[in-house]
Amino acid sequence: MMRVMKAFESTEIKSLNLKNRFVRSATMEKRADTEGRVTQELIDFTAALARGGLGLIITGVAYVQFNGKAYPNQIGIYKDDLIPGLKMMTDKVHEYDGKIAIQIAHAGSKADLKHIGEIPLAPSIIEEDIFRTHSREINLDEIDHIVESFGEAARRAKEAGFDAIQIHAAHGHLLHQFISPFTNRRNDAYGGNLGNRIRIVIEVSERIRDEVGERFPIILKMNVEDFIQGGIHLDESKIIAKKFSDVGIDAIEISGGFMGISSYPKHFSKKEAEMDGGKAHFLKHAEVIKNLIDIPLIIVGGIRSLELSERILQLGSADYISMCRPFIREPNLINRWEAGDTRRSRCISCNQCLTKIIEGETTRCHQEKI
């Protein structure tokens, strides 16, 4: 009897049954309308991923307050009249036997003044204007309001039919700004030592749990490296991951970097991504953290082949393989691999998808030959 690859095993995260171990990592789609409503174009874009055989789709980041919007045509989940459109999207995914989580966040100082109409919020005012925008320090009442907004967003997500929620605490969004000592210079209960810096994330997770119940899966995305002096590194991120595991998070996805400001290592280059089906950028971090937590670990970053995915899973370095750009190039990638065509992803890590997004286009692959 032929052995079933670990990558194609069915698994569970809390009450969530997944048909394989492949996850579409949250990727901005830029297909919502100006108020964050789901459009037919976004539904079609997401349905293609569901048809492609993924175990779990994680949406692009959805903002929980209007002043937490990071970019135009971003998905919103900050008011109840957005629920019907979100429900149309989850219904379409479920038609194809897919599972979908929504990533929720507040952009903090990454919010765009021209989109939100007010000065963006930040944990601290720092001399290094890293996001090239003026911001103001968030006060305690506003922190309480943000925690409540995450809870309300979770309620809407469950009503809209999502199978899980991912809290975005990475890549320079507000919760990550609180966690990172580079962006958090506060001297109150939300700043200083590690316990204080992660306090808001724990409060958010507890408020979400109040809304969704004990069996609903809550996933968290966190940085294991900020790639910036004075930021988070593995010696601290392994402690952070253990603390999140202990307070009721159901799975952790690890990533790294402040979008737009980090100096990524040279081995994150396109050349390295093209070698051996890619390089798992955060593999050494995963191997450390996996031994410290009692919940599933999701690894993202640079993986481009079934062979490498299976190797990581067989070694027990992670429980799930998460990818982003390969599914922009090839939404049907997992079906192709499962059918026996195990050639590596056609994504060449050229990053033109990201470049064009910054220039205002929707998310798509810009290579002419698919």
Give a yes or no: residue 366 inside a domain. Answer: no
Give a yes or no: residue 62 inside a domain. Answer: yes
E-state strands within 118-250: 121-122, 136-137, 164-169, 218-225
What is residue 343's DSSP assignment?
P
Name beta bridge partners: 169.
222
Query: What's the domain range around 169?
Result: 6-358
Pairing label, strands 11-13, 16-18 = antiparallel
Contact 316, 296 (CB under 8 A): no
Give a yes or no: residue 24 inside a domain. Answer: yes
Name beta bridge partners: 221.
168, 253
Give a yes or no: residue 1 inside a domain. Answer: no
Give a yes or no: residue 367 inside a domain. Answer: no
> How many alpha carbons lie under 13 Å from residue 261 in its C-beta half-sphere?
18
Nearest to 31 by CA among 67, 59, 65: 59
Distance CA 197, CA 177 (A): 9
Q: Which residues of 77-104 are buried (b: 16+ CB within 10 A; e: fewer)?
A: bbeeebbebbbbbbebbeeeebbbbbbb
Counting the structural domains of the chain, the total is: 1
Give a yes or no: residue 369 inside a domain. Answer: no
Contact 91, 161 (CB under 8 A): yes
Give a yes or no: residue 364 inside a domain. Answer: no
Contact 369, 363 (CB under 8 A): no
Give a yes or no: residue 368 inside a domain. Answer: no
CATH, residue 214: 3.20.20.70
Note down pLDDT in tens along the chain; length 370 residues: 346 799 999 999 999 999 999 999 999 888 999 999 999 999 999 999 999 999 999 999 999 999 999 999 999 999 999 999 999 999 999 999 999 999 999 999 999 888 899 999 999 988 765 555 689 999 999 999 999 999 999 999 999 999 999 999 999 999 999 999 999 999 999 999 999 999 999 999 999 999 999 999 999 999 999 999 999 999 999 999 999 999 999 999 999 998 766 555 655 555 444 445 568 999 999 999 999 999 999 999 999 999 999 999 999 999 999 999 999 999 999 999 999 999 999 887 777 776 666 666 777 777 755 4
